Structure 1
Amino acid sequence: MAMQLKKLSEQVIVITGASSGIGLATARKAARQRARLVLVARNENALKQISDDINMQGAEAIYVAADVANEADMQRVASMAIERFGGFDTWMNVAGVGIFGKNEEVSMGDMRRLFDINFWGVVNGSLVAVKHLKTRGGALINMGSETSDRAVPLQGIYSASKHAVKGFTDSLRVELEEEGAPVSVTLIKPASIDTMLVTHAKNYLEVEPKLPPPIYAPEIAADALLYAAEHSVRDMYVGSRARLMGAGAHYIPRLLDKGMQRFMYKLMKSDKQADHRDNNNLYTHKTDLLERGGVGGTARETSVYTSAATHPRTTGAVMLGSGLALMALWQMKKRRQHTSGTSGAFDASSYGKTRW
């Protein structure tokens, strides 16, 4: 079966982590394009409100309260999608949690719980999704991070989980391609995004954490996810810094080490006293229904790099137009020089002597 991804308006899309942040921004954008949605998160009350809002706007959404770390829950999500819509065309593994603190200070239990959500949640969702997608075609989209390519201090276990997501996603893609399965597999790698990640994270620092700038709006990440739902693409970076971090990790790893030692600690620490450590959503849901957390500075509403990736035809046309315009200016300049040179032999000769 040849791989063919549908237009968003013809798709049924499963989104985990849909109660806040990137997942919520993606759900709202997809609804505006009339995709039918299956929204997944732990917070049932938040999911109900989001689904009600989407349905009132003329789109169609159902919700399933589930924990991505539970394989049976993910199987139940797929069953609900099949029961209501006859199946699904795209599955997005967006759910994730964070921990801030030095590796030696974070408890082993918290590390394991983060991996249960960030890594095993992706594995559970992916394996359930591809079992269905192999029979009808579609897209699997996993949420990685710039830390999938380059780990950062004070987010060690988070970085490790995103490294693991990359390894699993890359290997799964090759296996599906080798057997000719009609499934597009994409890894999304955002830079710092203004979501609820910091607010929801478990914090071991003495102050409240923040994300290093530049920080991008969650809608930019949503654009990347929805582009991957319609176009078969291997990797997508959100924000130019994510791409630069990946390149730097490959070409100048030790220089990045030194830079992080000097700057990253300051960039990830605020001047606010740390809240109570138990105020997090590592084990249970907390505040939801918000796309942005407002932690770390004003978010950039656009990314030239990501816009170029999600609008390649427009970008190509602009680059071609710019190239033609520059060529026309260059030719005009040459013609003027030629005209100036032939209009008066004396002046041209004098100019030449003066120049050289």
Structure 2
Amino acid sequence: MKSKPILKPLHEQTVVITGASSGIGLVTARRLAQHGAKVVLAARNETALKDLTEELQHKGCQAIYVVTDVGNEKDVQQLAKTAIKHFGGFDTWINNAAVSIYGKVEQVSIEDQRRLWDTNYWGVVYGSRIACEHLRVHGGKLINIGSALSERAIPIQGIYSASKAAVMGITDALRMELEQERAPISVTLIKPGAIDTPYKEHAANYLDTEGQNPPPVYAPDTVADAILHACTTDVRDVVVGAGGKALTTLGNVAPRLMDLTMSRLMPYLQRTNKPSLGVSKGSLYEPQQDGQERSDYPFVLERSLYTDLVHHKAATAAMTVLTTAALIYGTGKALENRTRRLSKRLPLPTRSRQP
């Protein structure tokens, strides 16, 4: 058995969080400050980081920032050194920074694909290795932000899906290695579904329309709740949103059915009616306008009942069964209706008679 990690109450913790200038990272940083944690904020946009740091300090929080490109290992090393120098160390490290691309696998340039992997995969690897050097001695928490797409890829965001699958793989492997050596480190993977953040505004886009994420869409506070819970609890992983859980569960139960369904629906559900202005690089290479927690999705679920109940095993099992059954039923009805419409339009093949 591993040495049990000592996870302090939030008000006694120092927390490092990457991607803190917008979306999930921004909401989480503010929530951590509300609970009395000291925070070390990291992102590429210095203006947004400075504004956030001053906001939190004005509210009585001990906060500092470090301009960091997580795809650069030296930047991540400097982030850890600054946290140790200023606060004497850290108790929780959250690898949250990520970028995305809307576009087909064969359409997106290799250069852009590599840049996404620098942030989404190598940023997590650098952060995890550097954090564990400190936490192996002092104990504490490592939280990596994956995605519901870690387990179920979708078309049009294949490169992002692949990077998040790699994040899940490296996180699971690292957890087992730390357990084998009985290191006092708790490792959690958070897997959000579609979240109302500036994700689509920051994503690179190869589509002829602006991109969006398919429903259901959840508030970023639902992910922040899961992250704060993981800071003080030795939990293996958390899926945020019943939609994401149903997607991954049904993908495991009926993978070919999901392939067929998603190949037909997802290319359309990820497009808007607004034409794009050509290929956009989004925040792949340079930070975009930050400081926003949310985007402009018309209907957002402010709570996830599934995630609220996820730590109660019986409730979790029941919610999984119900959401999966509902998705199977809905998918079956959609395919049945589609087949019925096609059968009305196309003549049925006739079997030739034997002479």
Q: Same fold (TM over 0.5)?
A: yes
Q: Which moved more, 1:277-286 or 1:111-120?
A: 277-286
Match of 2:247 in 1: 245
Deviations 1:68-122 (A, max 9, x none): 0011111101110111110000000000000001111100000000000000000
Match of 1:90 in 2: 92
**Quick check: 1:4 aligned with 2:13?**
no
Q: 1:144 aligns with which of 127, 143, 146?
A: 146
Larger radius of gyration, structure 1 or 2?
1
Shift of 1:243: 1.2
Match of 1:306 in 2: 307
RMSD: 1.5
Q: Which moved more, 1:286-295 or 1:114-123?
A: 286-295
Q: Which amino acid aligns with 2:253?
A: Y
**Quick check: 1:13 aligned with 2:15?**
yes
Q: Which amino acid aligns with 1:304?
A: L
Q: How many residues align?
A: 314
- Once residues 275 and 169 of structure 1 are traced to their aligned partners in structure 2, the CA distance between those partners, rounded to angstroms, is 37
Match of 1:234 in 2: 236
- Once residues 171 and 253 of structure 1 are traced to their aligned partners in structure 2, the CA distance between those partners, rounded to angstroms, is 24
Shift of 1:275: 3.4
Q: TM-score, normalised by structure 1?
A: 0.86
What aligned pairs does 1:201-280 form with structure 2 within 5 A after superposition? 201-278=203-280, 280=282
Shift of 1:279: 5.5
Task: Tell me, yes or no, if the aligned pair for 2:208 and 2:278 is still in contact at 8 Å.
Answer: no
Q: 1:282 aligns with which of 281, 284, 294?
A: 284
Deviations 1:258-289 (A, max 9, x none): 11022112211110011343351100001100
Deviations 1:308-337 (A, max 9, x none): 126x49x79xxxxxxxxxxxxxxxxxxxxx
**Quick check: 1:198 aligned with 2:230?**
no
Q: Which amino acid aligns with 1:35?
A: A
Identity in percent: 50
Match of 1:157 in 2: 159
Q: Which amino acid aligns with 2:233?
A: H
Q: Which moved more, 1:270-279 or 1:257-266?
A: 270-279
Name the SS for the 1:18 alignment partner: coil
- Once residues 241 and 11 of structure 1 are traced to their aligned partners in structure 2, the CA distance between those partners, rounded to angstroms, is 32
**Quick check: 1:106 aligned with 2:104?**
no
- Once residues 156 and 185 of structure 1 are traced to their aligned partners in structure 2, the CA distance between those partners, rounded to angstroms, is 26
Name the SS for the 2:310 alignment partner: helix
Shift of 1:127: 0.3
Q: After TM superposition, which residue ranges in structure 1, 4 or more long, deviate above 4 angstroms?
A: none
- Once residues 304 and 275 of structure 1 are traced to their aligned partners in structure 2, the CA distance between those partners, rounded to angstroms, is 39
What aligned pairs does 1:43-54 form with structure 2 within 5 A after superposition? 43-54=45-56
Deviations 1:28-48 (A, max 9, x none): 011000100000000011100
- Once residues 246 and 235 of structure 1 are traced to their aligned partners in structure 2, the CA distance between those partners, rounded to angstroms, is 14
Q: TM-score, normalised by structure 2?
A: 0.86
Task: Tell me, yes or no, if the aligned pair for 2:23 and 2:294 is still in contact at 8 Å.
Answer: yes
Structure 2 portions without partners, runs of 5+: 317-355
- Once residues 170 and 63 of structure 1 are traced to their aligned partners in structure 2, the CA distance between those partners, rounded to angstroms, is 29
Name the SS for the 1:141 alignment partner: strand
Shift of 1:184: 0.5
Q: Which amino acid aligns with 2:94?
A: M
